[in-house]
Amino acid sequence: MITHFTKIPEPKKSVAYSCYWHFAAKRYDVFTKRLNNTHGPWTDEPAIRDNRFTNVFRASDRVSQFLINLQYGEDRIEQIFFKTILFKIFNKIETYQYLEKELGKISLSTFDLSKYNDLLTFRMASGKTIYSAAYIMPSAGRVFGYKFKHTNHLALIEKMIKDKVYDIISDARSLQKVYEILLSYPSLGSFLAFQYAIDLNYSTMTNFSEMDFVVAGPGAKSGIMKCFEHLGGYSYEDVIKLMADTQEEECIRLNIDLPNLWGRKLQLIDCQNLFCEVDKYLRITRPELNGPSGRTRIKQKYVLSRGSISLFFPPKWNINDKLKESWQAKVNVGMFS
């Protein structure tokens, strides 16, 4: 018996396809130049200079760096999980620091929904934003029934802790399984469940390759549809894997430097995020390309933050020593003070 295999139709690149790689190289160049010069300017391209884009490597972003330092200050998985989810649900450094200031220490052993709720309600009533504007955090009000979104999210954290989901996650055998566990909880859709799976994987709770699994978020899907005329027989996730697999040859073809994090190439999560950032970038540079989101502007402008840069990556990546050798006296390597 002869088995015939049908070749899956490949995606067709659009005129904007190469912008993905050019943007990645330019944005990474800004990141490396800033290590030497905290005052700028780091680029003469207005689109990148004037608008806010995340770093090419997700783990090097300010929010991810804050999280990684939180995680590696703890040894117990339940404490790592609690701090990670508490921080990431609001995704705002200032909110976490406010809770630390008011409570003295963030600890699962002293977590009290009512106390946390009172503090966050007061902060919100004082005119302070408690959630990041990076993405919309859906409310779990239909499940928990509280008036405020943050109260429902605290109830979500309480439920996760009661379920001892940290033990279930630490026993998971794949990054996809971690994602599926998180996805089973209310208000954590596919985008957030995947992002949180990556966040937890920075820690010692799990140790999976970031090349194992990916989920395309709404922004990434919009960017993909701008970079490709059609996807052929590929899924959004297949396209992201294609970019990760071909990154070296594409950068050689375009005669640009391949972004690498002290030897670590772009991972699936980085390629996913890049599509989201390229979607925004093309709103400025190629406004005629109207993606599925229909957005025509970038909502956040770049605001310079002064001061030295502190970088610390998960020790299991074996990057920190290389970073220290390469950028001695140029960038602080180690835990935040």
Domain shared by 216 and 195, yes or no: no
Non-local CB neighbours of 282 within 8 Å, separated by 6+ positions: 16, 19, 223, 226, 289, 291
Does 134 share its domain with 100?
A: yes
Do 187 and 230 belong together in one domain? no
Reduced to 3 states, what is the DSSP secondary structure of residue 13?
strand
Same domain for 239 and 284?
yes
Higher-confidence residue: 38 or 269?
A: 269
Are 102 and 179 part of one and the same domain? yes
Query: Lowest-confidence range among 24-28, 130-134, 238-242?
Result: 130-134
The answer, yes or no, to whether residue 145 has pLDDT greater than 70, is yes
229 and 277: one domain?
yes
The whole-angstrom separation of Cα 337 and Cα 327 is 19
113-117, 192-196, 333-337 — which is least confidently predicted?
Answer: 333-337
Q: What is the DSSP string of 160-200?
A: HHHTTHHHHHHT-SSHHHHHHHHHTSTT--HHHHHHHHHHH
154 and 195 both lie in a single domain = yes
Residue 29 has pLDDT above 90, yes or no: yes
Main-chain dihedrals φ then ψ at residue 209, nearest 5 degrees: -70, 140
Q: What is the DSSP code string of 26-47? A: HHHHHHHHHHH-SS------HH
More confident residue, 290 or 77: 77
Residue 311 within a domain: no
Note the pLDDT tens digit of each residue in 234-274.
Answer: 999 999 999 999 999 999 999 999 999 999 999 999 999 99
What's the number of domains the chain is made of? 2
pLDDT per position as a tens digit, 87-105: 999 999 999 999 999 998 8
Compute CA distances 244 → 20, 251, 270, 273, whole Å: 12, 11, 9, 12
Segments forming the whole domain that contains residue 270: 1-10+17-28+212-297
Q: Which of 175, 201, 227 is the endpoint of a domain?
A: 201
- In the chain the first and final C-alpha atoms are separated, in Å, by 67
Q: Are residues 247 and 284 in the same domain?
A: yes
**pTM for the whole thing?**
0.91
Q: Taking every pair of C-alpha atoms in the chain, what is the biggest distance, in angstroms?
A: 74
Residues 185, 231 share a domain: no
CB proximity list for 7: less than 8 A, separation 6 or greater: none
